[in-house]
Amino acid sequence: NQDQYWPLPKFYFSVDIGEFTDLSFQEISGIDISTESIEYRHGNSPNGTINMPSMIKYGDVTLKKGVFTTDNRFIDWISSVKLNTSQRVTMVIRLLNQNGEPETTWEFTNAFPIQVTPTDLNSTANEAAIESIVFTFEEMRIVI
């Protein structure tokens, strides 16, 4: 069985953002989980300090996609953000196997965009125009 000997390729994935399903993106980055260490010392401890884990922090997720002339939904979405009135959605990213079935799923609760970066422009480049959108969220759940 190939699954026992080879890692999954990272180029086959699907993305759902709210009501929009199976969206096409070129690249996704920033799916990070971390915690800080808190130093603590008992007042009468002869051994110095101990380290304890702090709260879990999540990184912001960046998605990159090609620019199309009639697709302005991310620019429109971030333009509508006002003080805590942004539409929050569930964002789901699935890493798929060779049969198109999810092997790992990341579910981001209460996600909303915090940055949209339009493509850079270069008159000597010979490549597609790529824009990026950065999402933040409240909680991440991983299903394996």
CA distance 78 to 17: 14
User: Residue 30 is encoded by which pair of tokens?
Assistant: 């920033």
Give the pLDDT mean for 45-69.
Answer: 91
Give the pLDDT mean for 91-104.
Answer: 94
Q: Is the pLDDT of residue 83 over 70?
A: no
Contact 91, 14 (CB under 8 A): no
- Give me the residues paired with residue 64 across strands: 27, 132
Residue 71 phi/psi, 5-degree rounding, is: -110, 95
Rounded to a whole number of angstroms, the distance between the first and last alpha carbons of the chain is: 18
pTM of the model: 0.84
**Given this model, what pLDDT does residue 70 score?**
84
Helix, strand or coil, per DSSP, at residue 78? helix
Pick the more confident residue, 136 or 84: 136
